[in-house]
Amino acid sequence: MTRWTVAIALMATCVSACAKPLAVPDDNAAALWASKMVSKYHLSTDKTECLFFDTFDKGTSFEVRVRENHSSECGGATNTSPTLFFMHIRKSDGRTLTNAYDGEHFVPLRRVTKTD
């Protein structure tokens, strides 16, 4: 091997060894992240245990559909589980967009401020 080949191989090894792990690496992490964001940003008045989080891997991000869990404990019409909103969660850093505010446009999460 030439010196350049060795140098390139070493750089490639270093880059892959130094790569930052994904903030949201899999479906379970995406569902957990979504449930935390729903609570933190008050996106639903339902308790977390009364919500379903359906995850879809989209390559560099996850799409999460947030649905109501209609049960005897949570209320609602049985055998239904209406969609409330969607979230897009970037795998690399967890940046989250949602259409929870207007049901149509995906925007970054924002804090709800109380006004008196």
Question: pLDDT tens-digit profile of 42-65?
Answer: 999 999 999 999 999 999 999 999
CB atoms near residue 20 (< 10 Å):
7
Q: What is the largest CA-CA distance in the chain?
A: 72
Residue 41 has pLDDT above 50, yes or no: yes
Q: Which two tokens stand for residue 61?
A: 């991000």
Distance of CA 24 to the CA centre of its chain: 7
Residue 101 has pLDDT above 60, yes or no: yes
**pLDDT for the residue numbered 116:** 43
Domain positions in the chain: 22-108
Average pLDDT over every residue of 81-100: 96
Average pLDDT over every residue of 23-51: 96
Ramachandran category for residue 43: left, alpha or beta (phi over 0 → left; psi -120 to 50 → alpha): alpha
